Amino acid sequence: MIAHDILNIATAMLPEHRKAWGEAMRHEIEIIDNGQEALIFAFGCLWAACSERITVMKLITGFGRLGVGLVTLLYGTLFISGFVFFVSVLFFHAPDRFYDQLLLRHPDVAAARLRDYPVLLAYCGFTASSYIAAAICLIRWRPKAFAWCCLAALIGPALLIATAVHAGSPVFISFYTCLIPWVMLVVASLCFSWMDAGGKKPAQPGPAAA
């Protein structure tokens, strides 16, 4: 039975001080007569056994946060390049080839882009700084600071969406997808937090008082 095989793996992973817990798992699964429930129970035992291996769980969460943090950092640097671009266009009159193409094919969209340059500049600035700060807090794992950075990262998209709704600007239609990386970042951090909490060894009872 698959559930029993999974449970055998789980009990084999348990450290010495948890062997009695493994025996209790074996007795418990024998009582369950429903195959699906037994499988769910076995997977739960496997997760609990993995959580007991503190070093393994710390490695998983540590490398996971590092990987997601580096991707987030890269995402933030891309928005820095966008911020620099809009600064150069607004204040130094650098050419905007995309605007020139729109002007030839879609003058109404080009006019909306020209009007909304300040909003795009603010969007890139807020998003870049927030994601870079969130990446640093995720890698070093500062939960409160990370939460505030994630909230700050919503300011840019909220500004874009509010402008799009107010003005009916076609430029911003594709920017609704900017929330997807934010959702992925938050979900990944929550998963790592859950794994980290599961990997902490329960407190051992102290010596009984005389």
Kindly list the distances between the CA atom of residue 59 and the CA atoms of 1, 62, 64, in Å, as whole numbers in the listed order: 31, 5, 8
Token output for 128: 């870049």
The 3-class SS string of 46-74 reads: HHHHHHHCHHHHHHHHHHHHHHHHHHHHH
Q: Which domain range does residue 38 map to?
A: 2-50
Give the residue from 50, 65, 86 where a domain finishes.
50
Residue 203 lies in a domain: no
Q: Same domain, yes or no, for 9 and 86? A: no
**Average confidence (pLDDT) over 46-73:** 78
Name the average pLDDT for the chain: 76
**Average confidence (pLDDT) over 187-209:** 60
Q: Same domain, yes or no, for 70 and 174? A: yes
Residue 147 lies in a domain: yes
206: left (phi over 0), alpha (psi -120 to 50) or beta: beta
Is the CB of residue 127 less than 8 Å from the CB of residue 156? yes
% of the chain exceeding 70 in pLDDT:
73
* Structure confidence at residue 204 as a pLDDT band (50, 70, 90): very low
Q: What is the DSSP string of the chain?
A: -HHHHHHHHHHHHS-GGGHHHHHHHHHHHHH---HHHHHHHHHHHHHHHHHH-HHHHHHHHHHHHHHHHHHHHHHHHHHHHHHHHHHHHHHH----HHHHHHHHH-HHHHHHHHHTHHHHHHHHHHHHHHHHHHHHHHHHT-HHHHHHHHHHHTHHHHHHHHHHHHHT-GGGGGGGGGHHHHHHHHHHHHHHHHHHHHTSPPPPP-PPP-
Q: Same domain, yes or no, for 77 and 146? A: yes
Q: How many residues does the chain have?
A: 210
Kindly list the distances between the CA atom of residue 1 and the CA atoms of 7, 30, 38, 48, in Å, as whole numbers in the listed order: 10, 11, 10, 20
Q: Same domain, yes or no, for 137 and 45? A: no
pLDDT of residue 125: 86
Residue 208 lies in a domain: no
Q: Same domain, yes or no, for 124 and 73? A: yes
Residue 204 lies in a domain: no
Q: Same domain, yes or no, for 19 and 103? A: no
pLDDT of residue 205: 42
Q: Same domain, yes or no, for 42 and 98? A: no
Token output for 22: 């493994």
Q: Same domain, yes or no, for 37 and 135? A: no
80-134: pLDDT as tens digits: 988 998 888 888 777 777 666 666 676 666 666 667 778 778 888 888 888 888 8
pLDDT of residue 209: 41
* Structure confidence at residue 53 as a pLDDT band (50, 70, 90): low
Number of independent structural domains in the chain: 2
Residue 37 lies in a domain: yes
93: left (phi over 0), alpha (psi -120 to 50) or beta: left
Per the model's pLDDT, the better-predicted residue between 28 and 176 turns out to be 28
pLDDT of residue 6: 86
Pairwise CA distance, residues 190 & 195, whole Å: 9
134-164: pLDDT as tens digits: 888 888 878 888 888 888 887 777 777 777 6
Q: Same domain, yes or no, for 109 and 13? A: no
Q: Same domain, yes or no, for 17 and 73? A: no
